[in-house]
């Protein structure tokens, strides 16, 4: 027995659970339930508004499908095409786009304030490889115990790192404290310590300039700049009317 039209699938189309059409698929052939459609043939020529049954008949004669490409239009726009080939081409394009898409990752490298030269060079090689792959690097200095009282030592280690990779990297975020750790973020490029997007005050940043001392008040009887003359001191004679 032939299933009802609402349960049919067009060529290359699979119904979802319960026979319902998948939301990401176009309506094809008998799934197009309107009476009239605006038809475009396989060569891109506009055939105008025709009865849906006539459009389906024409598609069958050409061995093609009637595909609703713009359901929001009134009447909906449909195109004569090989729907199976269309889906294959779309899937192929999506695969190529995904392959060419570059995802930048943030790789973390951890050091200690007293890292020896061998370990330091080993970690720097890792950082250079991450940057060469187009990723960013988060360099973290981990303080233990009383080491936290000397953050300048950690800052010196970070300075050594950026100096070692300045030919292929630039600083994206200045060194800053986070709990018992100090970290900075570097990105591919050139320029070393030149920041791309400074985020907050850096560790060891110079202190703010001291506020200027207030100016002494003007002598009695002399008006301040732009103000009203000050009152005479107490005990001074006043003129009569």
The 10s digit of each residue's pLDDT in 60-112 is 999 999 999 999 889 999 999 999 998 999 999 988 888 777 778 889 999 99
Same domain? 129 vs 149: yes
Q: Domain count of the chain?
A: 2
Tokens of 219: 């002598």
| CA nearest to 62, candidates 36, 42, 84 | 42
Q: Domain boundary at 158, 173, 188, which?
A: 188
Establish if 167 belongs to a structural domain: yes
The 10s digit of each residue's pLDDT in 138-186 is 999 999 999 989 999 999 999 999 999 989 998 898 999 999 999 999 9
Q: Domain boundary at 37, 70, 97, which?
A: 97
pTM: 0.44
Same domain? 128 vs 157: yes
Number of helices and strands (H, E) in the chain? 4, 8
The 10s digit of each residue's pLDDT in 111-134 is 999 889 999 999 999 999 999 888
Residue 5: per-residue pLDDT = 39
Establish if 194 belongs to a structural domain: no
The torsion angle over the Cα atoms of residues 21, 22, 27 and 31, rounded to 10 degrees, is 0
Residue 120: per-residue pLDDT = 93
Q: Domain boundary at 37, 62, 97, which?
A: 97
Determine the structural domain holding residue 121 and report its residue range.
106-188
pLDDT higher than 70, residue 230: no
The torsion angle over the Cα atoms of residues 95, 99, 104 and 106, rounded to 10 degrees, is 90
Same domain? 116 vs 73: no
**b/e per residue, 1-18, with b = 16+ CB within 10 A?**
eeeeeeeebbeebeeeee
Establish if 17 belongs to a structural domain: yes
Same domain? 141 vs 180: yes
Same domain? 140 vs 179: yes
Same domain? 12 vs 80: yes
Same domain? 122 vs 93: no
CATH of residue 131's domain is 3.30.110.10
Handedness of CA 231, 234, 239, 241 (dihedral sign): positive
The 10s digit of each residue's pLDDT in 22-31 is 556 788 998 9
- Are β-strands 77-81 and 136-142 bridged in parallel, bridged antiparallel, or unpaired? unpaired
Same domain? 67 vs 111: no
Same domain? 49 vs 86: yes
């Amino acid at each position: 027995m032939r299933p009802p039209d609402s349960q049919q699938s067009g060529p290359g189309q699979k119904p979802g659970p319960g026979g319902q059409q998948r939301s990401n698929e176009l309506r094809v052939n008998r799934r197009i339930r309107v009476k009239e459609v605006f038809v475009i043939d396989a060569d891109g020529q506009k055939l105008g508004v025709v009865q849906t049954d006539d459009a389906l008949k024409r598609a069958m004669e050409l061995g093609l499908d009637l595909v609703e490409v713009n359901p929001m239009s009134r009447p909906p726009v449909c195109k004569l095409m090989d729907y199976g080939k269309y889906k294959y081409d779309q899937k192929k394009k999506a695969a190529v786009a995904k392959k060419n898409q570059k995802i930048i990752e943030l790789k973390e490298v951890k050091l200690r304030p007293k890292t020896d030269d061998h370990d330091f060079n080993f970690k720097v090689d890792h950082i250079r490889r991450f940057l060469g792959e187009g990723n960013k690097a988060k360099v973290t200095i981990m303080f233990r115990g009383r080491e936290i009282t000397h953050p300048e030592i950690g800052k010196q280690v970070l300075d050594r790192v950026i100096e070692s990779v300045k030919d292929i990297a630039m600083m994206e975020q200045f060194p800053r404290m986070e709990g018992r750790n100090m970290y900075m973020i570097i990105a591919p490029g050139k320029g070393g310590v030149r920041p791309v997007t400074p985020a907050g005050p850096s560790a060891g940043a110079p202190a703010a300039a001291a506020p200027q001392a207030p100016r002494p008040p003007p002598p009695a009887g002399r008006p301040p700049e732009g103000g009203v003359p000050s009152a005479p001191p107490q005990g001074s004679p006043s003129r009569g009317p």
